[in-house]
Amino acid sequence: MKINRVISSIIEFIRGLSVTFWHLFVPSVTLQYPRQRWTVSDRYRGLERLAVDEEGRERCVGCCLCAQMCPSNAIKIVTGEGKDYNKEVISFEIDIARCLFCGLCVEACPKNALSMTGEYELACYNRAGMIYTKEGLYKSPDVTRYKK
Protein backbone atom coordinates (compact mmCIF):
# COMPACT_ATOMS: atom_id res chain seq x y z
CA MET A 1 0.00 0.00 0.00
CA LYS A 2 2.70 2.34 1.04
CA ILE A 3 4.70 1.86 -2.14
CA ASN A 4 1.64 2.64 -4.26
CA ARG A 5 1.21 5.98 -2.59
CA VAL A 6 4.85 6.92 -3.14
CA ILE A 7 4.59 6.09 -6.85
CA SER A 8 1.40 8.05 -7.36
CA SER A 9 2.81 11.15 -5.65
CA ILE A 10 5.86 11.04 -7.92
CA ILE A 11 3.55 10.85 -10.96
CA GLU A 12 1.59 13.89 -9.73
CA PHE A 13 4.84 15.77 -9.19
CA ILE A 14 5.97 15.14 -12.76
CA ARG A 15 2.58 16.16 -14.05
CA GLY A 16 2.83 19.44 -12.19
CA LEU A 17 6.29 20.13 -13.54
CA SER A 18 5.08 19.48 -17.06
CA VAL A 19 2.47 22.25 -16.72
CA THR A 20 5.14 24.65 -15.57
CA PHE A 21 7.42 23.58 -18.41
CA TRP A 22 4.64 24.05 -20.95
CA HIS A 23 4.06 27.64 -19.81
CA LEU A 24 7.64 28.56 -20.69
CA PHE A 25 6.49 28.56 -24.30
CA VAL A 26 3.18 30.49 -23.86
CA PRO A 27 3.20 34.34 -24.33
CA SER A 28 3.02 36.20 -20.97
CA VAL A 29 -0.03 38.28 -19.83
CA THR A 30 1.48 40.10 -16.86
CA LEU A 31 2.04 43.79 -17.52
CA GLN A 32 5.21 45.34 -16.17
CA TYR A 33 3.25 48.19 -14.52
CA PRO A 34 4.15 51.08 -14.29
CA ARG A 35 6.76 50.69 -17.04
CA GLN A 36 4.12 49.13 -19.23
CA ARG A 37 0.56 50.56 -19.43
CA TRP A 38 -2.68 48.90 -20.19
CA THR A 39 -4.87 50.10 -23.05
CA VAL A 40 -8.40 49.73 -21.72
CA SER A 41 -11.37 48.70 -23.74
CA ASP A 42 -13.76 51.28 -25.08
CA ARG A 43 -16.39 50.06 -22.68
CA TYR A 44 -14.21 50.32 -19.60
CA ARG A 45 -15.79 52.19 -16.69
CA GLY A 46 -13.18 54.35 -15.00
CA LEU A 47 -13.26 57.80 -13.43
CA GLU A 48 -16.30 59.92 -14.29
CA ARG A 49 -15.97 63.16 -16.14
CA LEU A 50 -18.20 66.11 -16.92
CA ALA A 51 -18.49 67.41 -20.45
CA VAL A 52 -18.94 70.83 -22.00
CA ASP A 53 -21.00 71.46 -25.11
CA GLU A 54 -19.88 72.80 -28.49
CA GLU A 55 -19.86 76.35 -27.17
CA GLY A 56 -17.85 75.47 -24.10
CA ARG A 57 -20.77 75.74 -21.67
CA GLU A 58 -21.19 73.22 -18.93
CA ARG A 59 -23.57 70.54 -20.08
CA CYS A 60 -24.59 69.67 -16.53
CA VAL A 61 -27.70 71.56 -15.48
CA GLY A 62 -27.73 70.27 -11.94
CA CYS A 63 -30.79 68.08 -12.17
CA CYS A 64 -29.34 65.75 -9.54
CA LEU A 65 -30.69 62.64 -11.24
CA CYS A 66 -27.22 61.11 -11.16
CA ALA A 67 -27.00 61.69 -7.43
CA GLN A 68 -30.42 60.16 -6.99
CA MET A 69 -29.47 57.12 -9.06
CA CYS A 70 -26.12 56.43 -7.42
CA PRO A 71 -26.44 53.29 -5.31
CA SER A 72 -23.58 54.27 -3.04
CA ASN A 73 -24.47 57.90 -2.52
CA ALA A 74 -21.16 59.06 -3.94
CA ILE A 75 -22.39 62.20 -5.71
CA LYS A 76 -23.09 65.50 -3.96
CA ILE A 77 -24.45 68.46 -5.88
CA VAL A 78 -25.20 71.95 -4.64
CA THR A 79 -27.18 74.24 -6.92
CA GLY A 80 -28.41 77.78 -6.72
CA GLU A 81 -29.53 80.73 -8.77
CA GLY A 82 -26.79 82.05 -11.02
CA LYS A 83 -26.54 84.74 -13.67
CA ASP A 84 -29.70 85.76 -15.55
CA TYR A 85 -31.89 83.84 -13.12
CA ASN A 86 -30.54 80.56 -14.49
CA LYS A 87 -29.72 77.47 -12.52
CA GLU A 88 -26.09 77.22 -11.58
CA VAL A 89 -24.21 74.19 -10.33
CA ILE A 90 -22.29 75.59 -7.39
CA SER A 91 -20.46 72.41 -6.55
CA PHE A 92 -20.37 68.90 -7.92
CA GLU A 93 -18.46 66.25 -6.03
CA ILE A 94 -17.96 62.55 -6.62
CA ASP A 95 -16.42 60.56 -3.81
CA ILE A 96 -14.36 57.99 -5.71
CA ALA A 97 -13.74 56.06 -2.55
CA ARG A 98 -17.42 55.20 -2.48
CA CYS A 99 -18.00 54.90 -6.20
CA LEU A 100 -18.34 51.35 -7.48
CA PHE A 101 -18.11 52.36 -11.14
CA CYS A 102 -21.46 50.90 -11.95
CA GLY A 103 -22.21 53.63 -14.45
CA LEU A 104 -25.77 54.19 -13.35
CA CYS A 105 -25.16 57.92 -13.01
CA VAL A 106 -24.16 58.06 -16.67
CA GLU A 107 -27.29 56.19 -17.64
CA ALA A 108 -29.42 58.66 -15.70
CA CYS A 109 -28.00 61.89 -17.05
CA PRO A 110 -30.53 63.50 -19.39
CA LYS A 111 -28.03 66.02 -20.72
CA ASN A 112 -25.16 63.73 -21.71
CA ALA A 113 -23.04 65.64 -19.26
CA LEU A 114 -21.63 62.75 -17.31
CA SER A 115 -19.60 59.98 -18.84
CA MET A 116 -17.00 57.45 -17.80
CA THR A 117 -13.37 57.55 -18.90
CA GLY A 118 -10.63 54.96 -19.12
CA GLU A 119 -8.86 56.54 -16.17
CA TYR A 120 -8.05 53.84 -13.63
CA GLU A 121 -5.03 55.20 -11.77
CA LEU A 122 -6.97 56.66 -8.88
CA ALA A 123 -4.81 55.89 -5.88
CA CYS A 124 -3.82 58.80 -3.66
CA TYR A 125 -2.36 59.49 -0.25
CA ASN A 126 -5.41 60.61 1.66
CA ARG A 127 -9.18 60.38 1.63
CA ALA A 128 -9.66 64.00 0.70
CA GLY A 129 -7.92 63.30 -2.59
CA MET A 130 -10.59 60.76 -3.38
CA ILE A 131 -13.21 63.47 -3.66
CA TYR A 132 -13.30 64.86 -7.18
CA THR A 133 -14.77 68.32 -7.45
CA LYS A 134 -16.21 70.11 -10.43
CA GLU A 135 -12.80 71.40 -11.55
CA GLY A 136 -11.26 67.92 -11.50
CA LEU A 137 -14.21 66.34 -13.23
CA TYR A 138 -14.22 68.85 -16.07
CA LYS A 139 -10.46 68.31 -16.56
CA SER A 140 -10.32 64.51 -16.49
CA PRO A 141 -9.04 62.70 -19.61
CA ASP A 142 -10.92 62.08 -22.82
CA VAL A 143 -13.93 59.91 -22.78
CA THR A 144 -13.81 56.33 -23.74
CA ARG A 145 -17.52 55.93 -23.77
CA TYR A 146 -19.68 58.79 -24.82
CA LYS A 147 -23.22 58.24 -25.69
CA LYS A 148 -24.72 60.73 -28.07
Interface positions with ligand SF4 (CB under 6 A): 60-66, 69-72, 74-75, 77, 94, 99-105, 108-109, 111, 113-114
Footprint of another protein (CB under 8 A): 61-65, 67-68, 79-81, 85-88, 110-111
Q: Which does 52 bind (CB under 5 to 8 A by kind): another protein, ligand SF4, none?
A: none
Of 112, 70, 60, residue with least CA distance to 91? 60
137 binds, among another protein, ligand SF4, none (CB under 5 to 8 A by kind): none
Beta-carbon contacts of 112 under 8 Å, excluding residues fewer than 6 positions away, are 51, 59, 146, 147, 148
Whether 99 contacts 130, CB under 8 Å = no
The nearer residue to ligand SF4, 8 or 72, going by C-beta atoms, is 72
Q: Going by C-beta distance under 8 Å and a sequence separation of 6 or more, which residues neighbour residue 145?
A: 42, 43, 44, 45, 106, 115, 116
Q: Between 75 and 117, name the residue whose CB sits nearer to ligand SF4.
A: 75
